[in-house]
């Protein structure tokens, strides 16, 4: 019984870690995209 709970928690932890990594990855991509767009606008329109 305890073993099952432990395995469940371990699985949950792995899922949570992957979710956090996923979100971080997404945010990083978003930031990169924003800075690239800003740089492009800057060079294009001399903002």
pLDDT in tens, the chain (47 residues): 789 989 998 998 899 989 999 999 999 999 999 999 999 998 988 75
Regarding pTM above 0.75, the answer is no
Q: Distance between CA 29 and CA 36 in Å, rounded?
A: 10
pLDDT value at position 5? 87
Contact between 41 and 47 under an 8 Å Cβ cutoff? The reply is yes
**Contacts (Cβ under 8 Å, ≥6 apart) of 32:** none
- CA angle 11-16-9, nearest 5°? 30
Residues shown for the chain? 47
Structure tokens at 40: 């492009």
């Amino acid at each position: 019984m305890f073993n099952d709970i432990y395995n469940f928690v371990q699985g949950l932890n792995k899922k949570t870690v992957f979710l956090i990594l996923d979100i971080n990855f997404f945010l990083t991509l978003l930031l990169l995209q924003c800075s690239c767009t800003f740089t492009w606008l800057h060079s294009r329109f001399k903002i």
